[in-house]
Structure 1
C-alpha cells in the first residue's frame, strides 16, 4: 500500500464495481450480519435482565461488561488470526458466543447474578473478530488501490447502521415476544454471518505473509508511530461515547424521549453518507494530510453544540461530525496498514478497534458524571476530537504517524496472501 500524495482527484469509482468484484459482496454482507449483534447484544442483555427481575443498574453493568470484554479481547484474537488463520478463530468464537447468549436466559434465573455475569463476560470474550478479519482481506480481494479505498469507506460508513438497526430489531422482538427471543435472534445472526464469512474461499485460505528480512526491527508492533495513532483514536472514541450520553441529557432537558435515539441515529446516518461520498473517489494529498484534515473537520463539526442548539438543530448538527468520522477511521486503517510489520496486520487492526472502544467507554463514563451540566456535556465530544487532533499534530513533530509510513515499501509489494 502506498501513502504517496496524488496530484489531482481521480475519476469517480462506482460501488457496483466494488461489490461486483469476486467475494466482496458476500464478505461485506456476512461481516455486517455477523457484527449486527454488536448493536443488539447490549440492549438485549439489558432488557432480559429487567424481564428476569433484575435492576436497570445490574442490566447496565452486564451490557457494559459484554462490550468491555469484547473490546479487550480483540488484540488476542487478532494475534491468533495472524498465527493460525481466520477460519480457525472465527468459527470457534462464533459457536461459543452464540451458545453462551442462548444459555443466558436458561441459566441466569436459576444461578443468580454470579453465573449471569460469568456468561455475559465469556460471551463478550468470544465475539468473532470479523471487522479486523475483513480489513485484512481487502488487499488480496481488491489489488486496485482505488477499489480498496472505496471498499474501506463503504465498510467503515456502514458500521454506524449496525447501531441503528440492531437496537431497533431487539426492541421489536422484545416487544412482540420476549427479550429471550431477542437474545436468540442475536445469537443466530452472529453465527449465520460468521459462517458466511468463514466459509468463503478468501477467508478460508487467508494466511498472513511470512515476515521478510526487510522488516528487521520493525517486526515490533508497538512502534512509536502506531502508538501515537492509537492514542489519537481514543479521542475519536471519546467523542462518540460522550455523544450517546449527551443525547440522553438532551432528551431529558427538552422532554422528548426520542432524542436519545434520534441524535445517535443522525450521527450514524452522517457517517454512512460520508463514507459513500469519500469512497467514490481518491482525494488529493497523502493519507497523513487526509487524516489531519478529516480530524480537524470532525472537531469543527462538534463546535455548534457549544451554542446549545434546540432539538431540530441538534439533529442536523451531528450529521457533519458523523460524515467526517468515516474519513478519519478509513485513513487510520490505511496508516495502520502501512506502519504494521508483515504478518501482524490483524493484530494491529484489533488494537485500532480497541483504541476507539476504550475511548468510547471513557467518554461515556465521564459524560455520565457531567450530564447535569448542559454546557459541559455538549463540550465533551469536541474535547475528544481536539485531543485526537493535538496528538496527531504534535506527537511526532515533522512526521505525523501516518506520514512515516511513506518511507516504507508499499505493502502490496511485500504481501502475498492467498
Structure 2
C-alpha cells in the first residue's frame, strides 16, 4: 500500500480566472473594439457609396477592395511588428486607417470613383493587425499553458460577434443619421480599440524572440513545406465560410425571407462562440496536430446536412455545428503555426494564417456567386472547401506532427510556455 497521496487534480480553468489575469480583459476588449471596423467598414462603405449616387456594383467593389487590401497587407504588417515591436506598427496604422475612413465621405464624393478607391485601398492597407498581435501577446501575458489555451479559445470564439454587431451598428447609425456618421464611428472605434491595446504595458514591452547566432539564420525561412501545407489547408476553411455567406443569401431569395441572409451567418457565429467557450474550459490530451485534423473532420461533417437542401429552420440549426468546430480548427491552427514558425517570425506567420483564411473566403464567395443558381452545388460548396482542408491536412500530418522533420528543434522557448498540449 502506497503511503504517498495521489496528486491533486489540476484546478478547473474558468473564464473568470482568465479575464481576471492582469491585462487580459484590457487586451481582449481593446482588440475586439479595434477590430469592429472589420465588420463595420465594408458595410459602411457600401452604404455611403449608394447614398452618394453610385451603383450597388460600385459600392460592392469599394467594399471588396477594402477587405482585400486589409487581408493582403497582413503579412507585411506582421513582419514589421516582428522587427520593430507592436506599438510602433499599431498606432501609426490606426491613425492612418481612421483618417482615411473619415476622409472618404468628405472628399471621396468630389474626386470620383478613382479617389474613393484610393482612399478605400489605403484604409484597408493601414488596418492595424490586432488579431495577429494579440495571438503573439498571449504567451507573455499568460505563462500558464492552460490559461493561454482558454484565452485563445475565448479570443477565437468571440470573433464571429464582430460580424454580427458590426453590420447591425452600421445599419442603425446610417438609419438614424447617415452613412458618413457610420464611417466616423467606425474610425473612432478602431482608433480607441487599437490605442487601448498598443498603449498597454504588454504590447509596449513585447519583442519577438531573436536568434542567438548566425548559424541558425537558415532556419528563419517561413516558407517551409509544413507551414505552406498548413496555410493551403486553411484556404479550404475560408472557402467554406465564404460559400456559406452566399448560400444564406440564396436561401433568403429562394424562401423570400430576407432575414435568413443575416440569421444563418449569425447562427454560424453563435455556434463558433459556443464551441470556443466549451473547448477552452478544459485542457485536451493529444497533440495540436491531431486535434486540428479531428476538428476539421468534424467541421466537414457539420456541412453534410446541407446537401439535403433543408428548410430554413433546419438549415439555421445545421450551420451552428460547423460553426462550433470552426473555433477549434482555428485555435489548433494557431498552436501548430506557433510550433512551426521560426524565432522572430511568429507574428508574420500568424498574419499569413489570417490571410490564408481570408483568401479562401474571397474565393468561396466568388465560387458560390457563380453557382448560386444551382441549389445543390451551392449547398455542397462549404463541404467541398472543408473536404479540401481535411485532405491537405491528412497528406501533411507527418510533417505537422511533433516528430516531423520540419519541427525539429522547434520546442526551444521554455520561458514562453510552448507546450504541445496547451
Residue aligned with 2:22, SS: coil
- Write the distance in 1 (CA, Å) between the matches of 2:412 and 2:238: 27
The residue that corresponds to 2:211 in the other structure is 211
1:12 Cα deviation (Å)? 3.2
1:400 Cα deviation (Å)? 3.5
1:113 Cα deviation (Å)? 0.5
- 2:336, 2:400 within 8 Å by CA — same for their partners in 1? no
- Write the distance in 1 (CA, Å) between the matches of 2:119 and 2:104: 7
The residue that corresponds to 2:414 in the other structure is 413
1:261 Cα deviation (Å)? 0.3
Residue aligned with 1:36, SS: helix
- 1:10, 1:282 within 8 Å by CA — same for their partners in 2? no
- Write the distance in 2 (CA, Å) between the matches of 1:21 and 1:406: 31
The residue that corresponds to 2:110 in the other structure is 110
- Write the distance in 1 (CA, Å) between the matches of 2:173 and 2:93: 25
1:151 Cα deviation (Å)? 0.4
- Write the distance in 1 (CA, Å) between the matches of 2:355 and 2:105: 28
Residue aligned with 1:90, SS: helix
- 2:226, 2:399 within 8 Å by CA — same for their partners in 1? no
1:285 Cα deviation (Å)? 1.2
The residue that corresponds to 1:5 in the other structure is none
Q: Matches of residues 215-230 of structure 1 in structure 2 within 5 Å? A: 215=216, 217-230=218-231
Pair 1:409–1:118, CA change in 2 (3 A): closer
- 1:393, 1:400 within 8 Å by CA — same for their partners in 2? no
The residue that corresponds to 1:3 in the other structure is none
1:407 Cα deviation (Å)? 4.2
- 1:10, 1:281 within 8 Å by CA — same for their partners in 2? no
Q: Matches of residues 260-275 of structure 1 in structure 2 within 5 Å? A: 260-275=261-276
Structure 2 gaps, min length 5: 1-8, 418-422
- Give the TM-score, by structure 1 length: 0.95
- Write the distance in 2 (CA, Å) between the matches of 1:271 and 1:411: 32
The residue that corresponds to 1:135 in the other structure is 135
- Write the distance in 2 (CA, Å) between the matches of 1:204 and 1:15: 25
- Write the distance in 2 (CA, Å) between the matches of 1:403 and 1:131: 29
- Determine if the alignment matches structure 1 residue 185 to structure 2 residue 185: yes
- 1:247, 1:259 within 8 Å by CA — same for their partners in 2? yes
1:79 Cα deviation (Å)? 0.5
- Determine if the alignment matches structure 1 residue 245 to structure 2 residue 246: yes
Aligned length: 407
1:11 Cα deviation (Å)? 5.5
The residue that corresponds to 1:62 in the other structure is 62
- 2:41, 2:186 within 8 Å by CA — same for their partners in 1? yes
Residue aligned with 2:143, SS: coil
- Write the distance in 2 (CA, Å) between the matches of 1:409 and 1:180: 49
- Write the distance in 1 (CA, Å) between the matches of 2:151 and 2:22: 13
Residue aligned with 1:408, SS: coil
- Write the distance in 1 (CA, Å) between the matches of 2:217 and 2:302: 42
The residue that corresponds to 1:94 in the other structure is 94
1:216 Cα deviation (Å)? 5.0
The residue that corresponds to 1:4 in the other structure is none
Q: Greater relative contact order: 1 or 2 (C-alpha under 8 angstroms, separation 6 or more)?
A: 1
The residue that corresponds to 2:363 in the other structure is 362
1:210 Cα deviation (Å)? 1.2
Residue aligned with 2:110, SS: helix
Deviation by residue 1:194-228 (Cα, 9 ceiling, x = unmatched): 01001100001111121134845321111111000
Residue aligned with 2:376, SS: helix
Deviation by residue 1:156-206 (Cα, 9 ceiling, x = unmatched): 000000000000000000011100100000000000000100110000111
- Give the TM-score, by structure 2 length: 0.94
The residue that corresponds to 1:166 in the other structure is 166
Q: Matches of residues 245-324 of structure 1 in structure 2 within 5 Å? A: 245-324=246-325
- 1:305, 1:379 within 8 Å by CA — same for their partners in 2? yes
Q: Matches of residues 10-49 of structure 1 in structure 2 within 5 Å? A: 12-49=12-49
- Write the distance in 1 (CA, Å) between the matches of 2:183 and 2:394: 44
- Write the distance in 1 (CA, Å) between the matches of 2:244 and 2:412: 36
- Write the distance in 2 (CA, Å) between the matches of 1:54 and 1:28: 37
Residue aligned with 1:227, SS: helix
Structure 1 gaps, min length 5: 1-8
Deviation by residue 1:222-278 (Cα, 9 ceiling, x = unmatched): 111100000000000000000000000000000100000000000000000000000
- Write the distance in 2 (CA, Å) between the matches of 1:50 and 1:241: 23
Residue aligned with 1:268, SS: helix
Deviation by residue 1:118-146 (Cα, 9 ceiling, x = unmatched): 00000000000000000000110111111
